[in-house]
Structure 1
Amino acid sequence: MTTTASASAAPRRLLVPALVSLVGVAVLIGLGLWQLDRRAWKRELIATLSERLAAAPVALPPAAAWPTLRREEAEFRRVRFAGEFLHDREALVYAIGSGLRTAPGGLGYRVFTPLRLAGAGGAGGPAAAGAPLVMVDRGFVPDAQKAPEARAAGQVTGPVEIVAVMRWPEERPTFAPADDPARNLWFARDPAAIAAEKGLAVAPFYVEQEAPEAPGGLPRVTRLKPNLPDNHLQYALTWFSLAAALAVIFLLWAFGPRRRRSGVTG
């Protein structure tokens, strides 16, 4: 009688551990599938970046088209245009690591300088006083040379023609300090916020300069490269392995030889 009662109670005692294990396995498999989705997205992104960064530069879209530009269609496209830098309105944006460029090494900043477009949307000719403005990330400067007078040779004046990559404002890093306009230091690449502090209105995007090199070497321009890490397959296999391990552990615990002999279920 006792043996029969114990045997009938065994399935009930396995119910909660079985449900917990089932939920755990489902969650782990879901995480693995999510990583596979992320891998497909990352590979598509890398392919898009590779294609756009290898393409020949085209004319910068005219100012009339700026409000309708879509990030997914325009970002990372190489453009060529002309204009004049407004060096008295430049800003320093704290430089952080990126999977799109080689780390510069050491503390430093990206120099963001407004450029007044020449002619019809940067196509040539002198820059008129009311011409549209584009914020240009001119490149990296070390902390010791962040002051403009420490890199005077690079503060080129007059008309310039540059090749650059279109970029969109970034989200503020989670633990970034507050911007310090009084010291002209910023911690997010937000051209509109920087320009507004300086009494300007600029394009809703900014551009990252590729060429020409600045006289004297500063700011130091860097070519973007799609060196984004793609570890999602390894992560997916890890989650799937954990799901399999959890399932095996439960089966051994629930139906192993010792449990069958003893009838003990918990």
Structure 2
Amino acid sequence: MPPDTRVRPRTVVTLLLAVLVTAGLLALGTWQVKRLFWKLDLIARVEARVQAPPGAIPAPDEWSDFDPATQEYRHIRLSGTFLHDKEVLAQANTILGPGFWVLTPLIQADGSVILINRGFVPPDRRDPATRTDGNPSGTVDVVGLLRLSEPKGAFLRSNDAATGRWYSRDVQAIAEAKGLPADKVAPFFIDADKTPNPGGYPVGGLTQVVFPNNHLVYAITWYSLAGMLMAVIIVLYRRRQI
């Protein structure tokens, strides 16, 4: 008796499902490849900004059109006077251990105010009285990287301005808490570079410019799953098990 060569409905359904799932896996792999090239381009652009000579900070009349995608991590130079009485400490975890970021407003000659992350201090230096040597007066020059405000908090904890507990560098909230004029405060802050401060603190230059890039691994995973699924379907079909 000749073998049954008819295609069973179950086989048709299984093959259609396998094709759809395979197509989905291939689409995910292709999307990850596109993300890979986007991430590599982003890393290259950011690296170019970080390594470029320091330039001027965006002027106040440019703040309304501020574009985070093209401005973050720009190498900046500015000058002004620190408002040390408006200092805020935000919790930090760094390569030097846990402690605080010292965030101090700097007022420029035109009256605009830029929040400066002057650097890290350990818990035993959180009191400004323990680092008076590191609080320069008069006009100072600051060089650093432009960073974006962090309004959503950090580590699943919300800032508490009333008690002075800050877990993220939320520029607008800090400005409001310290009574700074909202129309004069820049919508970003500056991470100061590693230029030493008198007395050793705060310690600047700790910006981590890191972009996780696992897209190639993800792409290989999705493509591999697609290949394995098709191989299994072919084997089962040839054995007439589907």
Shared fold per TM-score greater than 0.5: yes
Aligned to 2:17: 20
Q: CA–CA distance in 2 between the matches of 1:158 and 1:247? A: 71
Q: CA–CA distance in 1 between the matches of 2:36 and 2:217? A: 10
Deviates more, 1:198-207 or 1:228-237: 228-237
Q: What secondary structure sits across from 1:39 in the alignment?
A: helix
Deviating above 4 A after TM superposition, structure 1's stretches of 4 or more consecutive aligned residues are 223-227
Residue 234 (structure 2) pairs with residue 254 (structure 1): no
Residue 181 (structure 2) pairs with residue 181 (structure 1): no
State how 1:220-239 maps to structure 2 within 5 Å: 220-222=203-205, 224=207, 226-239=209-222
Residue 32 (structure 2) pairs with residue 35 (structure 1): yes
Deviations 1:183-205 (A, max 9, x none): 32222222011111221121111
Contact 1:46 1:226 in 2 (8 A): no
1:255 deviates by 2.0
Q: 1:196 aligns with which of 159, 176, 196?
A: 176
Unaligned runs of 5+ in 2: none
Q: What secondary structure sits across from 1:213 in the alignment?
A: coil
1:166 deviates by 1.4
Contact 2:195 2:205 in 1 (8 A): no
1:180/1:227 CA distance change after superposition, 3 Å = closer
TM-score of the pair, normalised by structure 2: 0.87
Q: 1:140 aligns with which of 96, 116, 120?
A: 120
Contact 2:119 2:206 in 1 (8 A): no
TM-score of the pair, normalised by structure 1: 0.80
Aligned to 2:85: 88
Contact 2:101 2:121 in 1 (8 A): yes
1:36 deviates by 0.8
Q: How well do the aligned residues superpose, as a CA RMSD in angstroms?
A: 2.4
Unaligned runs of 5+ in 1: 97-102, 121-130
Q: What secondary structure sits across from 2:186 in the alignment?
A: coil
Q: CA–CA distance in 1 between the matches of 2:21 and 2:119? A: 48
Aligned to 1:112: 103
Contact 2:144 2:190 in 1 (8 A): yes
Q: CA–CA distance in 2 between the matches of 1:19 and 1:143? A: 62
Q: CA–CA distance in 1 between the matches of 2:86 and 2:58? A: 23
Aligned to 1:124: none
Aligned to 1:100: none
Deviates more, 1:243-252 or 1:65-74: 65-74
Q: CA–CA distance in 2 between the matches of 1:173 and 1:35? A: 29
Aligned to 2:225: 242
Q: What secondary structure sits across from 1:22 in the alignment?
A: helix
Which one has a bigger Cα radius of gyration? 1
Q: CA–CA distance in 2 between the matches of 1:60 and 1:239? A: 43
Total equivalences in the alignment: 239
